[in-house]
Amino acid sequence: MIKTNERPGTRALARHIRISPYKVREVLDLVRGQHVQRAAEILRFSERDAAFVVGKVLASAVANAEHNDGLDPEELYVSACYADEGVTIKRFRPRARGRAGRIRKRTCHVTVIVSRMPDEELRRYRTKQAAEQAARRARRVAGGRAGGATGGTDAGGGRSRRLRRNRGGKDAPAASTPGLAAEDEDTQIEAVEDVAAGAEEMVAMEESSASGDEVAGEPGAEASPAAGDGPVEPAEGAPEDVPTDGADRADDEGQA
The per-residue b/e assignment along 160-174, b for 16 or more CB within 10 angstroms, e otherwise, is: bbebbeeeeeeebee
CA atoms within 13 A on the CB side of 172: 28
Of 42 and 235, the one with more pLDDT: 42
Task: Name the residue ranges covered by the structural domains of the chain.
Answer: 7-117, 124-213
H/E element, 13: strand 10-17
Homologous superfamily of the 7-117 domain (CATH):
Ribosomal protein L22/L17 (3.90.470.10)
> Does the pLDDT value for residue 106 go beyond 60?
yes
Lowest mean pLDDT among 14-28, 95-109, 138-152: 138-152
Concatenated DSSP letters of 23-76:
HHHHHHHHHTT-BHHHHHHHHHT--STHHHHHHHHHHHHHHHHHHTS---GGGE
pLDDT of residue 256: 47
The per-residue b/e assignment along 188-223, b for 16 or more CB within 10 angstroms, e otherwise, is: eeebeebbeebbebbeeeeeeeeeeeeeeeeeeeee
φ/ψ of 176, rounded to 5, equals: -120, 40
> Does the pLDDT value for residue 112 go beyond 90?
yes
- The 10s digit of each residue's pLDDT in 117-154 is 988 888 888 888 888 888 888 888 887 777 665 555 55
β-bridge partners, 91: 103
φ/ψ of 4, rounded to 5, equals: -65, -40
Distance CA 136, CA 130 (A): 10
- The 10s digit of each residue's pLDDT in 24-72 is 999 999 999 999 999 999 999 999 999 999 999 999 999 999 999 999 9
Distance CA 247, CA 157 (A): 52
